[in-house]
Structure 1
Amino acid sequence: MPGFRTAVDKLARRLSGYVCEPGSAEYARTVAIDNGRTRTPPALVIRANSTADVALALAFAKDTERPLTVRGGGHSAAGYCLNRGGIVLDLGLMRTITPHKEARQLTVQMGALWNDVYGYADRAGDGLIPVGGGCLTVGLPGFLLGGGYSFVSRSYGLGSDNVTMIKLVDASGTLRTLTADAAAKEDRDLFWACRGGGGGNFGVAVEMTLRLHKPPADTVLGGALSYRLERAEEVIAAYDAWAAKLPPQMAAYGYVGHDPDPAEPTRRIPVFRITPVHNGPYAEGAALLAPMLKLNPLDVRLHSMPLPRLEMAIGRSTLVGDRLAYIRSGMIGDQQGWTPGMIRTLRDAMATAPSTDTFAVWTHGRGKVADPALAGQGPYPHRDKRYVFEVKAIWADPADTRANVEWAVRLGEAMKDDFQGAYVNYIDPLQEKWATAYYGERNLAELRRIKKAADPEGFFTFQQSVDSAFEPDLSAPLDLSPLNRTLL
């Protein structure tokens, strides 16, 4: 298309960043995300290096009548940062971190990954910590726009609760500064919507200011306690009763999957594993673990280190890489927890998983997240839930996609009556009634009102944007086409 070619050349001359086109090595790197199942090739990647570049990219997409999606860290669970045949706006060059030491805050450009922020916090040497993601290659914008659970969320709230300012380029190309006390009601509304309303809906977040915290100790306790999965009914029930009574300084994540056998490390065996993170003195955290240590774990590994280093150590183990993955999530209520039936369902399903790379994991919620004072700060509706459950089916051969996805969907359907909603940061193209599951009916209506005001032409619209009417069809045979597209 000569017209498109001319437009690309003209754009390239105006950018402080640059464009990447199909066939180049950098294009291939930029469109590769942390899920080998999602390979959706855009016509062009624009690597912005400034807010002005972002505005130019939006104008270019409109002028050439191409859809545009935004890539922050490239960790989108469903690959919604990409699109087929359109424009991908990549923020990866915009990674500046500016400290505000007296205010205990950081201003961070939205191309940064949590690895960048943790590295900065570790080098700063002041002991201040962010409320950030547990995977190093997760980008800040998607994580924070969807709420964002951290190992220290039970101490300090969601990642989004700790955002004090957002700079956002809206669909008109206008840079807007969003705060809770912004002069314009429209900007206050957008600030509310962007703290839990999910990525890709309202504009391009280019910068955020984050609140930092001084923890009660220089180091945290982290590690793992593992038990044979054959003991699931006994041990997960004991864990659930124990976790419900923990102070907010302790988070205890759960995992069911395959780990190396301590007695024969070359062999992997099914286990239930607890990942404790105690935001306080080591001895205090170790004492809290006593009830679970009495249950004769298969393996125990405990460490003491600053939180940024713990995040960097744990985060290296969470990548999908070139393998293929599908994620399904569900919220487990505080009054319910893990029932015997749920434990059996999970244990039995994991025994039939097509791939031993597949695992289930859950985030330990509540604590500060459930503080009623935070409830109105954003549209995240699941503050009272005890756990955020995620099953992550991972496999190596594309020919096995249907078997692995259908297995994960069956597990989700078997547990759906036990779930009270789902988590937008694990966005799932096969989630039934996804909009109310992610936001709740009241928040969804408000998000759609704000979306209409901020983006009246629906420029920032994709398959599961807040204004989408899309619903998956889960009847047999399962329609997998929603997994392979960004736009309707």
Structure 2
Amino acid sequence: MILDILSRTPGLVTPFDVEFHEIPEHLVIREVDVPHESYTRVEAREYERNATDDIRAVDSLRFDEANYALVLPRSVAIPPSLAFKRHEPISRSAPREPGFLTVVSGPVHDLRTLIPSSKILTLEDGDEYMPSALTRNLLYARKAPGIVVVTDRVQDIQFTVNFARERNIPLTVQNGGHSYASYSLNHEGILINMKQFKNVEVNLTSTPKKATIQAGCQWINVYDHFKSNGYKQVVLGGRCQEVGVSGYTLGGGVSPFSRRFGLGIDSILEMKVVTASGDLVTVTPEDTDPKKKDLFWALRGGGGGNFGILTEFTTQIHDLVDKGGEVIYSILTWEFPGRQSEFEAMIEVLNSTTWPDELTMDVIWQEKGKKPTGGLIVVYDGTMQDYQKAIEPLTRFICDSQVKKCHWWDVAVKEQGWYAESPAFHHHTSFVFAERTLTPEVVKAINELMKETRDRLDTYDPKGKAYIIWVHLGGKTTKVNAEDTAFFWRDAAYVSYFKLQWYKREAMSEMIKLVEEVKENLLPYTIEKKAAYVNFVDRTIPNWQEAYYGDNYPRLQEIKKDWDPDNFFKFEQSVELPGATATGPRSGTGEDLRNAMRQTEIIWDQYALRHPEKIWSLPGPILKEKDVLRIIREELES
């Protein structure tokens, strides 16, 4: 009874709390001898002093002020395996057993006192907490931050960073929540949700023309701002409109206009970031201070969550050929097997032709039910007449009725399966390919993999879906040297990923096997047989350090040492300090890959939603976000 009371006492940690097993090394549970009676002592945290009055009010509990300890009678039943062993601290990045921690009130109370103008949310704040901590991937639905900070003040971000650092509490930042491996979340730590940082300002009188964008925006917020204000210039943003602007930019920024204007990072004019020390630092291309120059370099392609918290950035915006902001756009589809040979003939022409920078053509293979298809997504910056000249080698494959003019912001798409109202288990596997890689040999390998995918889905989850997309790069992106920014793969012609989406939890083991087969078959064709794109983050990559960053990784480590010497900003694939033991093996295939797949399956099993069938039994033809979040919350609370 008393431990049940204690578990709800403000400021206390008991064996009923998950946090009990993660206390720092100097906070231990041990048996002590007291004259005439044996007691169990629970050492408390410094911040728990505020709970002294509440502690004294609990029956049968003695408070030892000299040693600042809580003393319980031996009659209280505590499992020996918990009460009388020293619990070593758990690595902040190690997987933890899910099952939501009821956060002790100490840090919650202290944060609310420290930053009263911000929202400090816990699971008890259900309707507010759940959307702010949503992973948007049922594989990680049980990965639940202990505290979510929602603020629109940079100062409160600084306070929160200092608060978490001083207490060694894991901290991550969420913007769009599109981290495919859910690295923007943590389990039982502090999450800063940036969704209130949504201001966009455009300056058309400056040289160059520019936009200043706060880091909590999703690209749909930016596109809507341009649309509603009649701005015709293009900002280099994500194809998927719900992608967050900050993670997108920090990882490099591939857009439908990358071939024309370069990566998103190539247009950056200024960045503001809260560092691990809690300082707000502004960096620009004009910086003369060596450390600030290095930080600006690292923030352009070094990936999100490594060097600080981006609060806003300023980027150049670009004039299109059409002064009204319109581009040529087309989505072409070939149904298999009837038109598969025609699709493959089109790819052969696509692969063997040199295309103008104004033209972007993404290739996609899709498996949806019984209708496998191939597709080509075309975007052209120019007039219809010039487009027809540029596309001439493919004219016999394209019907004029499939081609239209539209505003550049209408090119953005909505990715199914990434929203609370369309929940799914899904995994993305990342690849980067060089020019002329779409050979008949590679196309055959992809066709066979997609057929195997369909067969596997038919057996284990017929409603599942899959696709492989090759996102077209090259052009202006190759004009920057690999060492000029942290984005290393400047010779890339395509960044690609295989997306697998399913709905039955019991299919998970078969899906992980399928992912392994895809990687084993396609990695040999990637640049240096390892290249991957950090914004298509993939926890199944064993040698992610080299795969994401190539030869730039050692420099990133040195910059990490300068700006985050204690490795405060840390997650499973965060940039390591120099000399740190690599968190994964150095090969992308073979036994190293199999080990990575096994570890991934363990993590999926820990954090995946246990009972997705409860979602699919909800009434009505269309799921509602609040109902889906309620089911996830019930699992976290159970």
2:542 aligned to 425, 432, 437, which one?
A: 432
Post-superposition Cα deviations, 1:350-386, rounded to whole Å, max 9, x if no partner, equal 11213451111011010110114x6444111112111
Question: 1:471 maps to what in 2?
Answer: 584
Q: What is the CA distance between 1:304 and its match in structure 2?
A: 1.1
Per the alignment, residue 413 of structure 1 pairs with: 520
The unaligned stretches of length 5 or more in structure 2 are 1-9, 12-47, 49-103, 458-463, 586-591, 608-638
Residue equivalent to 1:352? 452
Structure 1: gaps of 5 or more residues: 260-266
For residues 286-320 of structure 1, the C-alpha deviation after alignment (integer angstroms, 9 at most, x for no partner) is: 443444341377x9633211101232xx2365746
Query: Please, which moves more after superposition, 273-282 or 352-361?
Result: 352-361
Match of 2:113 among 13, 22, 28: 13
CA distance 1:395–1:66, shift in 2 (3 Å) = same
Give the alignment partner of residue 183 of structure 1, picking from 285, 288, 299: 288
- Counterpart AA for 1:371: K
Alpha-carbon shift at residue 344 of structure 1 (Å): 1.1
Q: Report the counterpart of residue 428 of structure 2 in structure 1.
A: 327
Partners of 1:258 and 1:415 in 2: CA distance: 18
1:74 paired with 2:177, answer: yes
CA distance in 2, matches of 1:392, 1:83: 23
For 1:263, the equivalent position in structure 2 comes to none
Distance (whole Å) between structure 1 residues aligned to residue 417 and residue 437 of structure 2: 25
Deviation at 1:138, TM superposition (A): 0.5
Q: Distance in 2 between matches of 1:36 and 1:245?
A: 41
Paired residue secondary structure (2:129) = helix
**Aligned residue runs from structure 1 range 290-439, under 5 A:** 290-295=392-397, 301-311=402-412, 314-315=413-414, 319=418, 321-334=422-435, 336-353=436-453, 354-355=456-457, 356-372=464-480, 375-420=482-527, 421-439=531-549
For 1:127 and 1:163, the matched residues in 2 are separated by 19
For residues 359 and 398 of structure 2, what CA distance do their matches in structure 1 show? 21
Q: Where does 1:21-100 land on structure 2 (aligned, <5 Å)?
A: 21-23=122-124, 24-39=126-141, 40-100=143-203
Question: 2:72 is matched with which residue?
Answer: none
Equivalences for 1:96-135 in 2 at 5 Å? 96-103=199-206, 104-135=209-240
Alpha carbons 2:364, 2:467 under 8 Å: kept: yes
CA distance in 2, matches of 1:84, 1:471: 21
- Distance between the aligned counterparts of 2:192 and 2:164, measured in 1? 10
Structure 2 letter corresponding to 1:102: T
The partner residue of 2:602 within 474, 481, 485 is 481
1:239 is aligned to 347
1:166-221 CA-to-partner distances (Å, cap 9, x unmatched) read: 10110010000011121321111000000001111001111100110010013111
**What's the CA shift string for 1:140-184, capped at 9, x where partnerless?**
111000001000010000011111111011001000001112132
**Deviation string, structure 1 residues 264-294 (Cα, Å, up to 9, x no partner):** xxx7511110000111123332443444341
Deviation track 1:201-243 (CA, whole Å, cap 9, x = no partner) reads: 0011111001100100131111211113435566345325335
Residue 301 of structure 2 is matched in structure 1 by: 196
Pair 1:458 & 2:561 matched: no
Match of 2:252 among 143, 147, 162: 147
- Which residue is 2:88 aligned to? none
Letter in 2 for 1:93: Q
Distance between the aligned counterparts of 1:162 and 1:168, measured in 2? Answer: 17
CA distance in 2, matches of 1:251, 1:238: 15
Question: 1:450 Cα deviation (Å)?
Answer: 0.4
Query: Do 1:141 and 1:205's aligned partners in 2 also have CA atoms closer than 8 Å?
Result: yes
Instruction: Give the paired residue count.
Output: 473
Alpha-carbon distance in 1 for matches of 2:293, 2:341:
47
Residues 184 and 358 from structure 1, CA distance in 2 versus in 1: closer, same or farther, beyond 3 angstroms?
Answer: same
Query: Which amino acid counterpart does residue 372 of structure 2 have in structure 1?
Result: P
Larger displacement relative to structure 2 (3-12 or 363-372): 3-12
- CA–CA distance in 1 between the matches of 2:321 and 2:398? 30
The 3-state SS of whatever aligns with 1:273 is strand
**Residues of 2 paired with 1:237 and 1:435: CA distance?**
37
Deviations 1:378-409 (A, max 9, x none): 11111211111210011112221221222122
CA distance in 1, matches of 2:571, 2:513: 24
Q: Take 1:76 and 1:37, find their aligned partners in 2: how far apart are those partners?
A: 12
- The residue number in structure 1 matching 2:334 is 227
Query: Aligned-pair distance for 1:434?
Result: 1.1
Distance 1:164-1:376 versus aligned 2 partners, 3 A rule:
farther
Q: Secondary structure at the match of 2:574?
A: coil
Q: Please name the residue that 1:264 is paired with.
A: none
**Superposed displacement of residue 97, structure 1:** 1.0
Q: CA RMSD in A?
A: 2.2
Q: In structure 1, what is the equivalent of residue 316 of structure 2? A: 211
Give per-residue Cα distances to partners, 1:71-119, cap 9 Å, x unaligned: 1111111100111111111111111112222121111110000001111
Give 3-state SS (helix, strand or coil) of 1:227's partner. Answer: strand
Q: CA deviation at 1:349?
A: 1.1
The 3-state SS of whatever aligns with 1:358 is strand
Aligned pair partner of 2:380 in 278, 284, 292: 278
Bigger radius of gyration: 2
Moved more, 6-15 or 409-418: 6-15
Show the 5 A alignment for 1:249-264: 249-258=358-367
Find the aligned partners of 1:300 and 1:36 in 2 and give their Cα distance: 39
Give % identity: 27
Distance 1:461 1:435 in 2: 14
Within 1, Cα distance between the matches of 2:341 and 2:561?
A: 48
Superposed CA offset, 1:244-268 (max 9, x none): 4210101000110046xxxxxxx75
SS in 2 for 1:269: coil
* Partner SS, residue 201 of structure 1: coil
Distance 1:485 1:466 in 2: 24
Greater relative contact order (Cα < 8 A, sep 6+): 1
Q: Is the 8 A contact 1:406 1:478 kept in 2?
A: no
Rounded to whole Å, the distance in 2 between the matches of 1:66 and 1:463 is 16
Judge which range, 1-10 or 250-259, deviates more. 1-10
Give the letter aligned to residue 42 of structure 1.
P
Q: Which stretch shifts more, 94-103 or 279-288?
A: 279-288
Query: Secondary structure, in 3 states, of the residue corresponding to 1:154?
Result: helix
The one-letter amino acid paired with 1:449 is E
Give 1:64 deviation, angstroms. Answer: 3.3
Separation in 2, partners of 1:306, 1:90: 31
Report the TM-score, using the length of structure 2 for normalisation. Answer: 0.71
Measure, in 1, the Cα distance between the counterparts of 2:156 and 2:472: 39
